[in-house]
């Protein structure tokens, strides 16, 4: 990597950290540290919360995953966007009004109010396992970026993972949720601009008519959006992408503490609903940009064969950035991927520290003072960061980043969606039945993940099992 690129990366990351710390919470209160207590007010606050939602789940790993899938398999993954209008409608008119009307100062309070402490702790434990695995995967993504971009030996894998993980952990320990949301919003805007630059650069340098680019993609069947095959082992059929991604998204937005924290950060339920709408449009736009970039990368290397092109499609974007873009610009885009990943990891760390503090510590032992809760929360961020780094090696054993993230998230998202459906609809089910359903749903999810069936069906399968088992245990008032 060129000296100017390295300098840009260092300056950029310092600027991101400064922006986060400059907007950190000031009160030293554990509730403010984890939820900000509705501190994001007005139109700007609503936009920042919305962009933060999008950036949290569309992080640096998305740069790698979506461009990699489009480069290697075509645009079929875009069909997943067809499920977003339905996802938005369900969240806007069904979930958010019921969830935010439930009261409570912490995201999982509503679970305990309606199903008891045991179900809340179970859901919290699932979230912890889910986000540890997810953070491990997003640590792998920028590491592959650096290795692919610089030609480093595989022995650099762990030094890079540890460096990124330590930086994220220290930053989150100081900043809290307010600095995380501000940094997320900044990163989201820069991610979108970075993809626009790559698309414009490729179109300019290819010097081919749009019709010719389309003909090359169409001739290679890269634009086939609607593969209606019913083969469950295929990854990019219409059914697997639309249904699988929609259930996964519902899991993110209804049961994921990172998203629930952001609903509480908005000043009102109405502001939270508007922030979610901003997030929806943001995710759709960035997804389309990433897939477009992946398709254009395929056209580029078809017309500019390169014997040094990495065999791993997850490394193609970084290779192109480093070898084709001007010095300085390449460094800025690499820094964007790293910083976006760091921003998402900080979101995971703060959410996990919050659930360990609010769902677990306060429940066992003697009562703690606000100062003690705050101190434990900071210690928890360190422990979570270390655990995520240790789990990064596991994510590399589950195939491509796309496959591994769908497996890790789907096994837990199904039960989490099922539990939230039961709660917000006020279904009168027995807590032990819900616990059994969630346990069997998770087991079913992992069984699918390690079977020949596409990992995009993991969340759907685990949701069906969770609900099917849970509704068998109605309370007596409903069975009479």
CATH code (residue 340): 1.20.1730.10
Q: How does pLDDT run across 242-289, given as a tens digit for each residue?
A: 787 788 778 778 877 777 777 877 777 778 888 888 888 888 888 889
Return the exposure string of 80-106: e unless at least 16 CB atoms fall within 10 Å of the residue's CB, then b.
bbebbeebbebbeeebbeebbeeeeeb
The highest-confidence range among 21-25, 49-53, 423-427, by mean pLDDT, is 423-427
Q: Is the pLDDT of residue 477 over 60?
A: no
**Which pLDDT band holds residue 26 (cuts at 50, 70, 90)?**
low
Q: What is the pLDDT of residue 4?
A: 83
The highest-confidence range among 214-223, 261-270, 403-412, by mean pLDDT, is 214-223
Radius of gyration in angstroms for the set of CA atoms belonging to the chain, rounded to a whole number: 22
* CA dihedral of 128, 272, 407, 286, whole degrees rounded to 10: -130
Mean pLDDT, range 231-241, rounded to an integer? 77
Q: Is the pLDDT of residue 396 over 60?
A: no
Q: Specify burial of residue 23 (Cβ count, 10 A radius: 0-12, 13-18, 19+).
A: buried
Q: Is the pLDDT of residue 216 over 50?
A: yes
pLDDT cut 70: percent of the chain above it = 85
Structure tokens at 166: 């330590």
Rounded Cα distance, 300 and 306, in Å: 10
**Which pLDDT band holds residue 476 (cuts at 50, 70, 90)?**
low
Q: How does pLDDT run across 351-373, given as a tens digit for each residue?
A: 788 788 877 877 776 777 777 77
Q: Is the pLDDT of residue 414 over 90?
A: no
Alpha helices, DSSP H only, in 24-90? Answer: 30-35, 42-57, 60-73, 84-90
Task: Tell me the three state secondary structure of residue 150.
Answer: helix
Q: What is the mean pLDDT of the chain?
A: 79
Output the CA–CA distances (angstroms, integers) from residue 190 to 184, 324, 334, in the order listed: 10, 20, 12
Q: What is the pLDDT of residue 465?
A: 94
Q: What is the pLDDT of residue 29?
A: 57
Least confident range from 68-72, 173-177, 414-418: namely: 173-177
Check: CB of residue 71 under 8 Å from CB of residue 297. Answer: yes
Q: Is the pLDDT of residue 73 over 60?
A: yes
Rounded Cα distance, 145 and 61, in Å: 10
- Candidates 18, 348, 22; CA nearest to 178 is 22
Question: Mind spelling out the 3-state secondary structure of 347-360?
Answer: HHHHHHHHHHHHHH
Query: Which positions ≥6 away from 336 have C-beta within 8 Å?
Result: 12, 60, 187, 190, 191, 194
pLDDT cut 90: percent of the chain above it = 10
User: How many structural domains are present in the chain?
Assistant: 1
Q: What is the pLDDT of residue 299?
A: 93
* CA dihedral of 355, 358, 363, 364, whole degrees rounded to 10: 70
Range of the domain at 391: 3-479
Q: Is the pLDDT of residue 479 over 50?
A: no
Mean pLDDT, range 441-453, rounded to an integer? 88
- Candidates 436, 443, 441; CA nearest to 472 is 436
- Candidates 284, 272, 48, 274; CA nearest to 180 is 48
Q: Quick one: CA dihedral 328, 329, 334, 339, positive or negative?
A: positive
End-to-end CA distance of the chain: 71
Rounded Cα distance, 126 and 66, in Å: 26
Q: What is the pLDDT of residue 403?
A: 58
Residue appearing with tokens 């922030």: 275
- Candidates 320, 297, 348; CA nearest to 145 is 320
Structure tokens at 52: 């933060």
């Amino acid at each position: 990597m060129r000296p100017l690129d390295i300098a840009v990366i260092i300056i950029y990351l310092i600027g991101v950290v400064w922006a986060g710390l400059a907007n950190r919470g000031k009160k030293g209160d554990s509730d403010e540290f984890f939820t900000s207590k509705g501190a994001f007010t007005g139109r700007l606050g609503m936009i920042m919360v919305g962009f933060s939602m999008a950036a949290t789940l569309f992080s640096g790993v998305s740069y790698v995953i979506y461009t990699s899938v489009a480069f290697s398999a075509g645009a079929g993954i875009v069909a997943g966007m067809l499920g977003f209008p339905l996802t938005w409608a369900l969240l806007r008119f069904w979930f958010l009004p019921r969830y935010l009307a439930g009261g409570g100062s912490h995201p999982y309070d509503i679970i305990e109010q309606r199903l008891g402490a045991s179900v809340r702790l179970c859901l919290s434990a699932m979230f912890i396992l889910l986000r540890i695995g997810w953070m491990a995967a997003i640590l792998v993504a920028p590491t592959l970026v650096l290795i692919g971009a610089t030609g480093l030996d595989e022995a650099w894998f762990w030094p890079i993972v540890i460096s990124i993980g330590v930086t994220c952990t220290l930053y989150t320990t100081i900043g809290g949720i307010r600095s995380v949301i501000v940094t997320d919003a900044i990163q989201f805007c820069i991610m979108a601009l970075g993809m626009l630059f790559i698309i414009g650069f490729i179109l300019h340098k290819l010097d081919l008519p749009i019709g010719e680019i389309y003909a090359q993609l169409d001739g290679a069947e890269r634009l086939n959006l609607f593969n209606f095959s019913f083969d469950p082992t295929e990854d990019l059929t219409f059914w697997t992408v639309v249904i699988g991604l929609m259930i996964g998204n519902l899991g993110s937005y209804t049961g994921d503490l990172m998203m629930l924290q952001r609903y509480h950060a908005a000043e009102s339920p109405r502001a939270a609903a508007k922030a979610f709408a901003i997030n929806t449009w943001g995710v759709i736009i960035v997804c389309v940009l990433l897939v477009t970039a992946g398709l254009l990368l395929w056209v580029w290397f078809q017309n500019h064969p390169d014997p040094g092109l990495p065999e791993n499609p997850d490394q193609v974007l970084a290779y192109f950035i480093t070898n084709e873009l001007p010095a300085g610009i390449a460094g800025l885009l690499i820094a964007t991927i790293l910083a976006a990943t760091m921003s998402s990891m900080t979101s995971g760390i703060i959410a996990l520290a919050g659930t360990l503090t609010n769902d677990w510590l306060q429940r066992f032992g003697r009562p703690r003072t606000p100062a003690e809760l705050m101190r434990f929360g900071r210690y928890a961020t360190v422990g979570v960061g270390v655990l995520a780094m240790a789990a990064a090696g596991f994510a590399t054993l589950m195939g491509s980043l796309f496959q591994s993230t769908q497996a890790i998230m789907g096994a837990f998202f199904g039960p989490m969606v099922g539990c939230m459906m039961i709660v917000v609809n006020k279904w009168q089910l027995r807590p032990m039945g819900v616990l059994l359903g969630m346990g069997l749903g998770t087991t079913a999810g992992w069984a699918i993940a390690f079977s020949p069936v596409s990992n995009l069906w993991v969340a759907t399968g685990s949701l069906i099992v969770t609900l099917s088992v849970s509704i068998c245990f109605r309370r007596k008032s409903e069975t009479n």
